[in-house]
Structure 1
Amino acid sequence: MKILNILFVFILASSCMGFFRELAPNEKLDSIEIQNQKRTYIVHYPKGWNGSPIRLLVALHGRFGSGNSMIKQTKLDLLADRKGFIVVFPDGYKRSWADGRGNTPADENKINDITFIELLVKRLIAEGSVNPKEIFLVGHSNGGFMAQRLAVEKPELWKGVLSVAAQVSVFTLKRKLTLKSNPVSVGIMAGTEDPIVPFSGGYVRDGGEILSVEDSILRWKEWNSCKEPANQKTENYKEESTELKIDFIRYESCAENTKVGLIQLNGLGHSWPGETPMIPFIDQGKTTNVLDGSKLVWDFMESL
């Protein structure tokens, strides 16, 4: 009976997290062999695409997620159809990324996710489907920390990078201090009441010390040689009987035409804005249905 209960919980969680999903006609499942591992990913081509090189968005799922769950969570596939870009959803090693903080299965097994993502991007460029000057990266949670690491270690790949519910880790900070990497446009979207990745910095539940969101933005401002002042605006949304306030802070005058931005989700938690939480058995803080996180991500990318 205990085994049956465990199996039921696994099936329920897998269903909620979107592991089971049929490919659409305009999608393909592909793989790359690296470190004796078959690393898989889903490519979603926009409906009506004529085959000419277009923009690419790489979307990295969070811990316990998958490429399939990232599609279900974000609906970036539908946004790609409307906006006309390709989006690729890679699968992390044992549903995790080697973002450098040390405690994920990918980190523990010394998985080279930097090379995996780089090879994936270069393969799509070589296929002729992607404009190499219009490649963007977004990640959520563990995937967001991985995105920050990729922004530091492979800035030449990206026109823009945005992390959701993740900021600069101490590991990535130390890596940056040893590298003389080029500026890259970076954004952070974060909930001020995130119970998993503290907005004010410190330690994350799955291990690793991180900077605060404010300090992370200031670091990128310094690394990109951004000038004051920052452009700031606030948008208010009505959700039932409460007001939801979103603060946008943007440094526009940075080296090599890069930008640094913060989307501050006041009062919100760890979930991708607008989603139904993918991990129902973990408290992720307050959620919202009035925001479209994917639209906010792509608005940032389109502004670069």
Structure 2
Amino acid sequence: MRLYFVLTIVFFIFSCMGLSRKLSPNEKLDFLEIQNNKRTYIVHYPKKWDGSPIPMLVALHGRFGSGFSMIKQTKLDILSDTKGFVVVFPDGFKRSWADGRGNTPADQNKINDVVFIESIVKRLVAEGSVNPKEIYLVGHSNGGFMAQRLAVEKPELWKGVVSVAAQLSVFTLKRKLNLKTKPVSVGIIAGTDDPLVPYSGGYVRDGGEILSVDDSINRWKEWNSCNDNLTKKSENFKEENSDIKIDFLRFEFCAENSKVGLIQLNGLGHSWPGETPMIPFINQGKTTKVIDGSKLVWDFMEAL
């Protein structure tokens, strides 16, 4: 218990690095009042935007992160400028999300993050900047588990949902079994050697039982009524001392044109691909500089 407390403090200290930066002219910091809490989020509009409704990506940071740290880790703001979509970086409650597993400050304080994220989406649609038929969601780690929860509870909001270093939790599985919801395209990006969120499932240090990546994909295949036609391809990337292989698996023929995909990062760990880990004293497994995680996410979304 003492070790976990020390690790938590270290995690907090180092995650504070890069939590803020100056907003650019095409960004705004906004907020909503939810459950008597001021909930903030950053909106980045592409630099060459003409004001017409365009796609939007909501990006959820991991535990101990923030909207600003998510910008620094993913560089999705730069990709937004290139590809022409709005990207939103919400701030979790006390740097956490209520993904349902029970141990985060957001869960313990019974924060309704489903309502928070849904409210951001509806606000931006109402202001006329976002095409409601092209709204996407991605999350990393705790944010990835939250993305899976939102895919189950609010599938009508999203054209596509991707979780990075996170799969289905038992909590979200049980929620799904009690809900009748529409299909939604879902992708999972997972390192096979993730020491924090086991690829094979089990229990996570910050709480809750999770399914394996393979079981999570099969659940989404079932829920989306996909047939057994699975497309596969692989890509190899060279680094200084090793080669990295990525396997792409995708069920293309599912109900309501939905898709289910896995991007398997062989030998890699917990970090957002391409990111420099911000917490050097926590073992997050093998990292890489030659794979662009944000590109992988948007490539999945663009193919829907």
Normalising by the residue count of structure 1, what TM-score does the alignment of the two structures yield?
0.95
* Letter aligned with residue 196 of structure 2: I
**Which residue number in structure 1 is paired with residue 57 of structure 2?**
57
Matched, 1:205 2:209: no
Q: Do the aligned partners of 1:69 and 1:278 also contact (CA within 8 Å) in 2?
A: no
* Distance in 1 of aligned mates of 2:210 and 2:10: 31
1:92-171 aligned within 5 A = 92-171=92-171
Unaligned runs of 5+ in 2: 1-5
The count of aligned residue pairs is 297
Q: TM-score scaled to structure 2, two decimals?
A: 0.95
Amino acid at match of 2:251: Y
Counterpart in 1 of 2:242? 242
SS in 1 for 2:63: coil
1:88-133, Cα deviation, whole Å (9 max, x unpaired):
0000000000000000000000000000000000000000000000
User: Which residue identity does 1:263 align to in structure 2?
Assistant: I
DSSP-derived class of the 2:88 partner: strand
Q: CA deviation at 1:278?
A: 2.3
Q: Does 1:36 align with 2:36?
A: yes
Q: Which residue of 2 aligns with 1:217?
A: 217
1:172 aligns with 2:172: yes
Counterpart residue type for residue 246 of structure 1: I
User: Cα offset for 1:271?
Assistant: 0.1
State the distance in 1 between where 2:284 and 2:93 align.
23
Aligned to 2:261: 261
Partner residue of 1:271?
A: 271
Measured in 1, the distance between the counterparts of 2:171 and 2:111 equals 16
**Cα distance in 2, alignment partners of residues 22 and 114 from structure 1:** 28
Alignment correspondent of 1:25 = 25
The 1:15/1:226 distance shift into structure 2, 3 A limit, reads closer
Q: How far apart, in 1, do the equivalents of 2:296 and 2:139 lie?
A: 13
> Is 1:17–1:65's contact at 8 Å kept on the other side of the alignment?
no
Q: Distance in 1 between matches of 2:14 and 2:244?
A: 31
**1:12/1:21 CA distance change after superposition, 3 Å:** farther
Equivalent position of 2:3 in the other structure: none
Offset from partner CA, 1:13-46 (integer Å, 9 cap, x none)? 4576421211111100000001000000000000
Q: Which amino acid aligns with 2:46?
A: P
**8 Å Cα contact 2:14-2:278 kept in structure 1:** no
* Structure 1, gaps ≥5 residues long: 1-5
Indicate how the Cα distance of structure 1 residues 247 and 10 shifts in structure 2: closer, same or farther if over 3 A, else same: closer
Alpha-carbon shift at residue 240 of structure 1 (Å):
1.0
Tell me, yes or no, if the aligned pair for 2:12 and 2:64 is still in contact at 8 Å.
no
Change (3 A) 1:279 1:15: closer
User: For the Cα contact (< 8 Å) 2:192–2:199, is it kept in 1?
Assistant: yes
> 1:183–1:224: 8 Å Cα contact kept in structure 2?
yes
Which amino acid is the alignment partner of residue 164 of structure 1? Answer: V
Question: Counterparts of 1:11 and 1:106 in 2: how far apart (Å)?
Answer: 17
Secondary structure of 2:220's match? helix
In structure 2, the partner of 1:291 is 291
Q: Deviations over 1:282-301 (max 9, x none)?
A: 11000000000000000000
Asked if 1 retains the 8 angstrom alpha-carbon contact of 2:15 and 2:65, the reply is no
- Match of 1:186? 186
